[in-house]
Amino acid sequence: MNRTASIKDVANQAGVAVGTVSNVLNYPDRVSERTKERVLKAIDDLGFVRNDAARQLRAGHSRTIGLIVLDVGNPFFTSVVRAAEDAAALQGSAVLLGDSGHNESRESNYIDLFQEQRVQGLLISPVGDVTARLNVLRERGVPTVLVDRLADDAMFSSVSVDDDEGGYLAARHLLDIGRRRLAFVGGPLSIHQVADRLRGAQRAVKEESDATLEVLDSEGQSVLAGRGIGNRLVERPAKNLPDGIFCANDLLALGVMQSLTMMHTLRIPEDIALIGYDDIDFSVSAVVPLSSIRQPTEAIGRTAIELLTEELESQQVRHRAVVFTPELVVRQSTAGAEASL
Amino acid sequence: MNRTASIKDVANQAGVAVGTVSNVLNYPDRVSERTKERVLKAIDDLGFVRNDAARQLRAGHSRTIGLIVLDVGNPFFTSVVRAAEDAAALQGSAVLLGDSGHNESRESNYIDLFQEQRVQGLLISPVGDVTARLNVLRERGVPTVLVDRLADDAMFSSVSVDDDEGGYLAARHLLDIGRRRLAFVGGPLSIHQVADRLRGAQRAVKEESDATLEVLDSEGQSVLAGRGIGNRLVERPAKNLPDGIFCANDLLALGVMQSLTMMHTLRIPEDIALIGYDDIDFSVSAVVPLSSIRQPTEAIGRTAIELLTEELESQQVRHRAVVFTPELVVRQSTAGAEASL
DNA sequence: CACTGAAGTTGAATCGTTTCATTGTTACGA
DNA sequence: TCGTAACAATGAAACGATTCAACTTCAGTG
Give residues with Cβ within 8 angstroms of B236, minimum separation 6: none
Same domain, A282 and A192: yes
Q: Is the dihedral of CA B8, B12, B13, B14 positive or negative?
A: positive
Residue B199 belongs to some domain of the structure: yes
List chain D nucleotides near protein: any atom < 7 Å from a Cβ. 7-21
A115 contact residues in B (CB cutoff 8 A) = 49
Whether pLDDT at B2 is above 70: no
Residue B322, CB half-sphere, CA atoms under 13 Å: how many?
Answer: 17
CA distance A149 to B258: 34
Q: Chain B neighbours among A 101-130 (CB < 8 Å)?
A: 112-113, 115-118
The pLDDT score that the predictor gives to residue A338 is 40
Measured between CA atoms, the residue of chain B closest to residue A61 is B53
Same domain, A291 and A176: yes
Same domain, B15 and B132: no
Residue A58 belongs to some domain of the structure: no
CA–CA distances in Å: residue A9 to residues A39, A117, A255, B115: 11, 27, 60, 18
CA distance A143 to A137: 7
Residue B58 belongs to some domain of the structure: no
Same domain, A187 and A250: yes
Hey, are the CB atoms on A116 and B62 less than 8 Å from each other? no
Residue A28 belongs to some domain of the structure: yes
Domain carrying residue B186: 163-295+329-334
Same domain, B262 and B302: no
Q: Is B81 on the interface with A (CB under 8 A)?
A: yes
Same domain, A202 and A172: yes
Residue B56 belongs to some domain of the structure: no
CA distance B158 to B314: 16
Residue B41 belongs to some domain of the structure: yes
Helix ranges, B235-296 (H)? 250-262
CA distance A335 to A247: 16
pLDDT tens-digit profile, chain A (341 residues): 467 899 999 999 999 999 999 999 999 999 999 999 999 999 999 999 999 999 999 999 999 999 999 998 899 999 999 999 999 999 989 999 999 999 999 999 999 999 999 999 999 999 988 999 999 998 888 999 999 999 888 899 999 999 999 999 999 999 999 999 999 999 899 999 999 999 999 999 999 999 999 999 999 898 889 989 999 999 999 899 999 999 999 999 999 998 898 777 889 999 999 999 999 988 888 878 899 999 999 999 999 999 999 999 886 778 999 999 999 999 999 986 443 33
Hey, are the CB atoms on B97 and A97 less than 8 Å from each other? yes
CA distance A327 to A330: 10
Q: Tell me the pLDDT band of B336, cut-offs 50, 70 and 90.
A: low
Measured between CA atoms, the residue of chain A closest to residue B94 is A113
- Contact between B286 and B333 under an 8 Å Cβ cutoff? The reply is yes
CA distance A248 to A250: 7
Q: In terms of Cα–Cα distance, which of B16, B8, B13 is closest to B35?
A: B16
Q: Is A136 on the interface with B (CB under 8 A)?
A: yes
- Contact between A300 and A171 under an 8 Å Cβ cutoff? The reply is no
Q: pLDDT tens digits, residue range B281-323?
A: 888 888 788 999 999 999 999 999 999 999 998 867 789 999 9
The verdict on whether omega for the bond into residue A269 sits within 30 degrees of 0, i.e. cis, is yes
Whether pLDDT at B178 is above 80: yes
Q: Is the CB of B206 under 7 A from strand D?
A: no
Q: pLDDT tens digits, residue range B258-284?
A: 889 877 788 999 999 999 999 998 888
Pairing of the two strands A292-294 and A327-329 = antiparallel
- Contact between A218 and A226 under an 8 Å Cβ cutoff? The reply is yes
Residue B55 belongs to some domain of the structure: no
The Cα of B5 is separated from the nearest Cα of chain A by a number of Å equal to 9
Q: Is the CB of A28 under 7 A from strand D?
A: no
Q: In terms of Cα–Cα distance, which of B221, B227, B236 is closest to B271?
A: B236
Q: In terms of Cα–Cα distance, which of A103, A106, A87 is closest to A95?
A: A87
B341 contact residues in A (CB cutoff 8 A) = 262
The pLDDT score that the predictor gives to residue A282 is 87
CA distance B112 to B133: 10
b/e map of B135-153 (b: 16 or more CB within 10 Å)? eebbebbbbbbbbbbbbee
End-to-end, the C-alpha distance of chain A in Å comes to 60
CA–CA distances in Å: residue B91 to residues A125, B68, B86, B147, B302: 27, 20, 9, 19, 12
The pLDDT score that the predictor gives to residue B139 is 87
Q: pLDDT tens digits, residue range B73-107?
A: 899 999 999 999 999 999 989 999 999 999 999 99
Q: In terms of Cα–Cα distance, which of A38, A107, A37 is closest to A70?
A: A107
Output the distance from A57 CA to D19 C1' rounded to whole Å: 13
Hey, are the CB atoms on A140 and B1 less than 8 Å from each other? yes
Hey, are the CB atoms on A96 and B96 less than 8 Å from each other? yes
Whichever domain contains A28, its CATH number is 1.10.260
> Angle CA(B329)–CA(B179)–CA(B324) in degrees, nearest 5?
30
The pLDDT score that the predictor gives to residue A340 is 36
- Within 10 angstroms of residue A74's Cβ, the number of other Cβ atoms is 20
Q: Is B73 on the interface with A (CB under 8 A)?
A: yes
The verdict on whether omega for the bond into residue B188 sits within 30 degrees of 0, i.e. cis, is yes
Same domain, A150 and A214: no
- The length of chain B in residues reads 341
Hey, are the CB atoms on A73 and B82 less than 8 Å from each other? yes
Hey, are the CB atoms on A73 and B78 less than 8 Å from each other? yes
Q: Please tell me which residue lies nearest to nucleotide D18, judged from CA to C1'.
A: A58
- Contact between A8 and A43 under an 8 Å Cβ cutoff? The reply is no
Q: Is A52 on the interface with B (CB under 8 A)?
A: yes
Hey, are the CB atoms on B116 and A52 less than 8 Å from each other? yes
CA distance A58 to A54: 6
- Contact between B146 and B156 under an 8 Å Cβ cutoff? The reply is yes
Same domain, B150 and B167: no
Q: Chain B neighbours among A 264-283 (CB < 8 Å)?
A: 281-282
Whichever domain contains B281, its CATH number is 3.40.50.2300
CA distance B114 to B90: 21
Same domain, B182 and B257: yes
In a mutagenesis test of the A interface, which of B44, B46, B50, B285 is the best target, namely the one with the most A β-carbons within 10 Å?
B285
Instruction: List CB-based contacts (under 7 A) with strand C.
Output: A 15-20, 22-23, 29-32, 34-35, 54, 57-58, 60; B 3-4, 6-8, 18-19, 21-23, 25-26, 48-51, 54-55, 57-59
In a mutagenesis test of the B interface, which of A2, A222, A285 is the best target, namely the one with the most B β-carbons within 10 Å?
A285
- Looking at the partner chain, which of B47, B97, B286 has a beta carbon nearest the beta carbon of A287? B286
CA distance A28 to A33: 9
Residue A339 belongs to some domain of the structure: no
Number of domains, chain B: 3
The pLDDT score that the predictor gives to residue B328 is 98
Q: Which residues pair with B216 in a beta bridge?
A: B185
Looking across all nucleic acid strands, the nucleotide with the smallest C1' to CA distance from residue A51 is D16
- Rounded mean pLDDT of B42-71? 95
DSSP state of A278: B
Whether pLDDT at B337 is above 60: no
Q: Is A262 on the interface with B (CB under 8 A)?
A: yes
- Within 10 angstroms of residue B238's Cβ, the number of other Cβ atoms is 9
- Looking at the partner chain, which of A53, A73, A113 has a beta carbon nearest the beta carbon of B118? A53
* pLDDT, chain B, mean: 93
Q: Chain B neighbours among A 157-216 (CB < 8 Å)?
A: none
Q: Tell me the pLDDT band of B145, cut-offs 50, 70 and 90.
A: very high
Residue B279, CB half-sphere, CA atoms under 13 Å: how many?
Answer: 15
> Edge-to-edge strand order for the sheet containing A212-217?
A212-217, A181-186, A244-247, A273-275
Give residues with Cβ within 8 angstroms of A279, minimum separation 6: A250, A292, A293, A294, A295, A329
Same domain, A287 and A315: no
- Within 10 angstroms of residue A329's Cβ, the number of other Cβ atoms is 19
CA distance B138 to A1: 8
Same domain, B168 and B285: yes
A63 contact residues in B (CB cutoff 8 A) = none
Same domain, A130 and A30: no
